[in-house]
Amino acid sequence: MTNGASKMWSGRFREPLDSTFEKWQRSFPFDVRLIYQEIAASKAHARTIAAAGILTPDELEKTLAGLDRVIKAVFEEAYKLVNNDMLRDAYASTSTPADYAWLSPLNDVARLNPQAEDIHHFVELELTKLIGSLALKLHTGRSRNEQIATDMRLFVRDSIDASVKALREWSLALFEVAERAGENVIPSFTHLQRAEPVLVAHWLLAYVSMIERDISRLSDARKRMNLCPLGSGAVAGATLALDRNIAARALGFDAPTPNSMDATSDRDFMLDFTQALATLGIHISRFAEELTLYSTAEFGFLDLPEAFSTGSSAMPQKKNPDFTELIRGKSARLVGAATTLSVLMKGLPLAYNKDLQEGQEAVFDAADTAAGILTILPAFTRSLKFRFDRMKTAATTGYLNAMAAATYLSNKGVPFRKAHEIVGDAVRLGLESGRELNDLKLEELRTLSDAFAEDFFEAITLEATLDCHDVIGGTARTRVGEALAAAKARLGDNI
Ligand code: ARG
């Protein structure tokens, strides 16, 4: 038997593919999740070739209706396999659902369709079952190289929108917790050594700043990627005089891509996306690490929400920070996806190479991983129970007001270097006698410098220690109030 006529490229081949290789090289088991994107892009292409006279208006209608039926048929099959309500709802909706969890039964559909090499081949086979040989006209003037480039752009665009939405939710949760924290304080750390007191709100707003950069990176990537590869052909451009604007417009792209060689082999948008998620992963992991540390008995700054913790099967007293540990671990997958894409791309000659197929799973995994984490983070953040008393004790002991004390002296005209040294001496005095700076007597202090006066003690209270950081971005109470108001304005409609 010659190679199966069902292949998309069997004409020039006389020998069948090695069956193990055939199975191994198929992308359908994972690119089946691009079904929505593939159908949308195929419909857009059908409109383009109809405008070029390849399809009559009647054929166009049949093709579009057939493509809609393909997606229906796939979900019917998937629904039969799992018989689950979530899937039935997803199948009933016509748009791409943001939550991909229900897609897993599609993998079973893929398993049951061993002929399909990839999603493009699958849709063609299914469409042929439904509308006969008219389906074969759809491939006029297009190549799978531009199709996969288009499908992936559509996928990444949706994932960016979902990630940005989820990040806004999380920053809103952080904002609410920050606002509720009022004037409560926490030590800030440098070198993981207690440094100076800061408002809890100031600490939490640090993460809001990180999230805002994440949103900006993702939005920026979205703008840059929003061009349509359809019409690029296999490498040199479509062989028909197609109006590429038709498909671009139908798919919500800003314009067609300007170069066919780049368009069919460019995966920068996947790199941008995974790199932005890798950075997001780093931020989330830092948050997770802080909370993991702060929940230990040694810090004691918070009680882990029981709803997000587990016990130990061996040690009855344990409450383990599973959620923060897991997201710290999962962020490694986000960094991994960006690394996979970078290494995948770095040696590729122009234009399309089959290696590119390997980039898809990294993107899917990163999108799923980020979506999973971000679904839980807002509720987790809102349920955090801070132990403000412990935070305050830690923030008001251990000479965290030494910097404020040095500032006091420098305000009295003592050069800062000198003031630093004098306060260092005062700290030593305190350490030797088990006292904080505010427990020292004015006479003792005056033996170190006659710049000390009675008003020194007001300058090193907790409030004064906070308020001396009265700069934009500082932890002075009024500044943090302004920062909260500014964050609230930026969060805008979400509040
Ligand atoms: N499944 C393929 C991929 O993801 C589609 C493009 C195939 N193109 C080709 N020339 N073999 O890359």
* pLDDT tens digits for range 229-270: 999 999 999 999 999 999 999 999 999 999 999 999 999 999
Which residue, 365, 373, 395, is CA-closest to 186? Answer: 395
The vertex-296 CA angle with 291 and 297, nearest 5°, equals: 145
Give residue 139 CA to ligand 1 midpoint distance, Å: 14
Ligand 1: residue whose CA is nearest its atom 4: 357
Res 280 pLDDT > 70: yes
Instruction: Give residues with Cβ within 8 angstroms of 248, minimum separation 6.
Output: 227, 228, 230, 254, 255, 256
Mutate to test the pocket of ligand 1, among 118, 348, 360 (most ligand atoms within 8 A of CB): 118
Res 5 pLDDT > 80: no
Res 1 pLDDT > 60: no
Ligand 1: residue whose CA is nearest its atom 2: 357
Instruction: Give residues with Cβ within 8 angstroms of 464, minimum separation 6.
Output: 401, 404, 458
Query: Is 352's C-beta closer than 6 angstroms to any atom of ligand 1?
Result: yes
Residue 87: the pLDDT is: 62
Confidence of residue 9 (pLDDT cuts 50, 70, 90): confident
Catalytic residue annotation? 191, 312
The per-residue pLDDT of the chain, averaged, comes to 92
Query: Is 353's C-beta closer than 6 angstroms to any atom of ligand 1?
Result: no
Which residue, 210, 265, 172, is CA-closest to 493? Answer: 172
361 burial level (CB within 10 Å; 0-12, 13-18, 19+): middle
- Mean pLDDT value of segment 139-152: 97
The vertex-138 CA angle with 228 and 135, nearest 5°, equals: 145
Give residue 109 CA to ligand 1 midpoint distance, Å: 20
Res 93 pLDDT > 90: no
Res 94 pLDDT > 60: no
Residue 75: the pLDDT is: 76
Instruction: Give residues with Cβ within 8 angstroms of 73, minimum separation 6.
Output: 126, 130
What pLDDT digit, counting tens, does each position of 324-382 carry? 999 999 999 999 999 999 999 999 999 999 999 999 999 999 999 999 999 999 999 99
Query: Is 363's C-beta closer than 6 angstroms to any atom of ligand 1?
Result: no
**What is the rounded CA–CA span in Å between residue 59 and residue 373?**
45
**What is the rounded CA–CA span in Å between residue 213 and residue 307?**
30
Res 318 pLDDT > 90: no
Query: Is 145's C-beta closer than 6 angstroms to any atom of ligand 1?
Result: yes
Residue 98: the pLDDT is: 43
Structure token digits, residue 227: 């061009």
Full DSSP string of 128-158? HHHHGGGGGGGGTT--HHHHHHHHHHHHHHH
Residue 13: the pLDDT is: 81
Give residue 102 CA to ligand 1 midpoint distance, Å: 25
Structure token digits, residue 210: 């990180």
Tell me the H-state helices in 116-251.
Answer: 119-131, 144-180, 200-225, 244-250
- Mean pLDDT value of segment 442-447: 97
Amino acid at 62: K
Three-class DSSP category at 185: strand
**Distance, first Cα to last Cα, the chain:** 66
Res 74 pLDDT > 90: no
Atom of ligand 1 nearest to the CA of 117: 1
Q: Percent of the chain scored above 70 by pLDDT?
A: 93
Confidence of residue 3 (pLDDT cuts 50, 70, 90): very low
Q: Percent of the chain scored above 90 by pLDDT?
A: 82
CB 215 within 8 A of CB 209: no
Query: Is 117's C-beta closer than 6 angstroms to any atom of ligand 1?
Result: no
Per mean pLDDT, which range of 17-21, 285-289, 293-297, 299-303 is the poorest? 17-21
CB 60 within 8 A of CB 47: yes
Mutate to test the pocket of ligand 1, among 121, 123, 148 (most ligand atoms within 8 A of CB): 148
Residue 4: the pLDDT is: 44
More confident residue, 449 or 33: 449
**What is the rounded CA–CA span in Å between residue 40 and residue 46?**
10
What pLDDT digit, counting tens, does each position of 49-66 carry? 999 999 999 999 999 999
Atom of ligand 1 nearest to the CA of 9: 11
Atom of ligand 1 nearest to the CA of 360: 4
Res 2 pLDDT > 70: no
Give residue 344 CA to ligand 1 midpoint distance, Å: 15
CB 344 within 8 A of CB 337: no
Residue 291: the pLDDT is: 97
Residue 82: the pLDDT is: 65
Q: Whole-structure pTM over 0.85, yes or no?
A: yes
Atom of ligand 1 nearest to the CA of 27: 1
CB 7 within 8 A of CB 124: no
Res 174 pLDDT > 70: yes
Give residue 148 CA to ligand 1 midpoint distance, Å: 7
